[in-house]
């Protein structure tokens, strides 16, 4: 089908939950994707920080194919060999002692919220159940994670929302300290806010959050759904701070495009989940775990993190160059290959212009261009992207 036919059928059959661009991508390889009319694009969005090892990564594809021919699905009523191996790798390379697998970021955060509540009921007396999250955050679209998401535009029309949530401004320790009252059991936050506009907190912020949580005896949950799995140049973004959470959630890049989510915790907290506490039919199924194992292998042993740090620094440098030439560029921020470009104008026309010239990116919060490309991009890819972006800015 041509793009035009696809769009017409899409509008006919698919619920209108997305403001889709008029493109249908049908094939991908590495950093590049092709649409239904054969046009090539440099993909600096990567399915929103999902395809960290590039599209159709041969190692991931081979692992999925081999697993599909061996055992695709069995119930968590049984022990699952690839699940045990992936959990082992995540535990050996993080603060955590135990893993629960699910299928998405929202589900991972749901699991984290449930675990924090269960732990609180057992260890903090009966009256501590509130979760404090940050203004401008994003944690998912289920009712509980939507409520934790500190942005009214996502919540409008879905009330009554679940109770037991509260908010504090991001990157503001004094306000967080005031928000963590006697009835709070956990603080939930992103290490760098993603959907909220690639907001990097001040140095020492995460350490300060940890200190507040420890002083008040509440759990720290880090949502690393976007920042985790190498995106910021470390396997997990919390590593740079030198402090660790009690619970962490992952999804997006964990399966490089195969849907996988995970909720990790220390033993102290994890023991509150006992048989029957929580479950997922598909969570941790062999096929998803095969994808996750291939991703972990690449991140740990194939130089992906080094490339992310090096090319990320180069990319930010090149963007600083654009900033000197174009007064509409207000600020470049980010870490590794999670980069935001704040503009003084709306970003939609720039996204559209780049797409027409063969570069995919997106825009959050109206005026913040977001780059979350595959972590395997080269400096040559960056040069090509910056040339396209510069050309589009020139024309405005």
Ligand X SMILES: *Cc1c(COP(=O)(O)O)cnc(C)c1O
Q: Which of 61-69, 187-195, 232-240, 301-309 is the region at the interface with ligand X (rule: CB under 6 A)?
A: 187-195
Q: Which of 27-35, 88-96, 99-107, 343-351 is the region at the interface with ligand X (rule: CB under 6 A)?
A: 99-107
What secondary structure letter does DSSP report for 80? -
Q: Active site includes 252? A: yes
How many C-beta neighbours within 10 Å does residue 156 have? 8
Q: Which of 53-61, 70-78, 222-230, 319-327 is the region at the interface with ligand X (rule: CB under 6 A)?
A: 222-230
Q: Active site includes 118? A: no
Binding ligand X (rule: CB under 6 A), the pick from 128, 139, 309, 316 is 139
What secondary structure letter does DSSP report for 69? T
Which residue among the candidates 95, 100, 101, 138 is catalytic per the annotation? 138
CA-closest candidate to residue 250, choices 135, 119, 91: 91
* Residue 255 interacting with ligand X (CB under 6 A): no
* Residue 190 interacting with ligand X (CB under 6 A): yes
* Residue 343 interacting with ligand X (CB under 6 A): no
What region, left, alpha or beta, does residue 165 occupy, with left being phi > 0 and alpha being psi -120 to 50 degrees?
A: beta
* Residue 254 interacting with ligand X (CB under 6 A): no
CA-closest candidate to residue 123, choices 248, 282, 266: 266
Binding ligand X (rule: CB under 6 A), the pick from 42, 251, 296, 382 is 251
- Six-digit token pair at 64? 């999925």
Question: Is the CB of 195 or the CB of 246 nearer to ligand X?
Answer: 195
Nearest approach, Cβ of residue 237 and ligand X (Å): 11
Binding ligand X (rule: CB under 6 A), the pick from 105, 228, 257, 283 is 105
Question: Is the CB of 334 or the CB of 392 nearer to ligand X?
Answer: 334
CA-closest candidate to residue 139, choices 116, 95, 108, 97: 108
How many C-beta neighbours within 10 Å does residue 84 have? 12
125: burial class by Cβ within 10 Å (0-12, 13-18, 19+)?
Answer: exposed
Binding ligand X (rule: CB under 6 A), the pick from 106, 186, 218, 375 is 106
* Residue 342 interacting with ligand X (CB under 6 A): no
Q: How many CA atoms lie within 13 A of 73 on its CB side?
A: 5
Q: Active site includes 97? A: no
Question: Is the CB of 225 or the CB of 235 nearer to ligand X?
Answer: 225
Nearest approach, Cβ of residue 353 and ligand X (Å): 25
- Six-digit token pair at 231? 């995106």
* Residue 362 interacting with ligand X (CB under 6 A): no
- Kindly write down the DSSP assignment for every residue of 228-296, as one continuous string: TTTTTSSSSGGGGGT---SEEEE-GGGGBTB--EEEEE-HHHHTT--TTS---SSTT-HHHHHHHHHHH
Q: Applying CB under 6 A, what is the total number of residues that bind ligand X?
A: 15
CA-closest candidate to residue 380, choices 299, 311, 303, 317: 311
Which residue among the candidates 171, 252, 273, 371 is catalytic per the annotation? 252
- Six-digit token pair at 383? 């040069």
Question: Is the CB of 30 or the CB of 140 nearer to ligand X?
Answer: 140
* Residue 199 interacting with ligand X (CB under 6 A): no
Binding ligand X (rule: CB under 6 A), the pick from 57, 104, 232, 272 is 104
Question: Is the CB of 94 or the CB of 109 nearer to ligand X?
Answer: 109
DSSP H/E element including 90 = helix 81-92
Binding ligand X (rule: CB under 6 A), the pick from 57, 94, 226, 241 is 226
Binding ligand X (rule: CB under 6 A), the pick from 30, 82, 194, 245 is 194
Residue number of the CB closest to ligand X reads: 105
Binding ligand X (rule: CB under 6 A), the pick from 30, 54, 82, 140 is 140
- Kindly write down the DSSP assignment for every residue of 16-45, as one continuous string: S-S---S--EEEEEBTEEEETT--EEEESS
Give residue 197's Cα distance to chain centre: 13
* Residue 196 interacting with ligand X (CB under 6 A): no
Residues engaged in binding ligand X (CB under 6 A): 104-106, 109, 138-140, 190, 194-195, 223, 225-226, 251-252
Catalytic positions are 138, 223, 252
């Amino acid at each position: 089908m041509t793009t035009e036919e696809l769009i017409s059928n899409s509008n006919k059959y698919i619920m209108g939950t997305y403001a889709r661009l008029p493109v249908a991508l049908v094939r991908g390889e590495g950093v590049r994707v092709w649409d239904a009319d054969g046009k090539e694009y440099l993909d600096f969005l990567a399915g929103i920080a999902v395809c960290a090892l590039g599209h159709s990564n041969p190692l991931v594809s081979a692992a999925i194919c081999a697993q599909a021919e061996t055992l695709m699905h069995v119930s968590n009523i049984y022990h699952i060999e690839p699940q045990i191996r992936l959990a082992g790798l995540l535990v050996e390379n993080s603060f955590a002692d135990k893993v629960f697998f699910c299928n998405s970021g929202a589900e991972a955060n749901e699991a984290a919220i449930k675990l924090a509540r269960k732990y609180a009921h057992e260890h903090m007396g009966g009256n501590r159940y509130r979760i404090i999250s940050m203004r401008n955050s994003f944690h998912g679209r289920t009712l509980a994670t939507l409520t934790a998401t500190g942005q009214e535009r996502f919540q409008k029309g879905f009330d009554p929302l679940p109770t037991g949530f509260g908010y504090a401004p991001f990157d503001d320790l004094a306000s967080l300290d005031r928000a963590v009252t006697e009835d709070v059991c956990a603080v939930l936050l992103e290490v760098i806010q993603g959907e909220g506009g690639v907001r990097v907190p001040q140095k020492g912020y995460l350490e300060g959050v940890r200190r507040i949580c420890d002083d008040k005896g509440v759990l720290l949950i880090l949502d690393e759904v976007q920042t985790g799995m190498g995106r910021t140049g470390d396997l997990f973004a919390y590593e740079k701070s030198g402090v660790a959470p009690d619970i962490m959630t992952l999804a997006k890049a964990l399966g490089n495009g195969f849907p996988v989510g995970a909720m990790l915790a220390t033993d102290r907290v994890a023991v509150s989940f006992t048989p029957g506490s929580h479950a997922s039919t598909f969570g941790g199924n062999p096929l998803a775990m095969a994808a996750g194992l291939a991703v972990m292998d690449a991140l740990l042993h194939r130089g992906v993190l080094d490339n992310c740090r090096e090319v990320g620094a180069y990319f930010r440098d090149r963007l600083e160059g654009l900033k000197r030439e174009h007064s509409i560029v207000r600020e470049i921020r980010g870490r590794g290959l999670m980069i935001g470009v704040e503009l003084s104008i709306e970003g939609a026309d720039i996204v559209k212009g780049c797409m027409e010239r063969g570069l995919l990116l997106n825009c959050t919060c109206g005026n913040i261009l977001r780059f979350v490309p595959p972590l395997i991009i080269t400096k040559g890819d960056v040069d090509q992207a910056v040339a396209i972006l510069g050309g589009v800015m020139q024309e405005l």
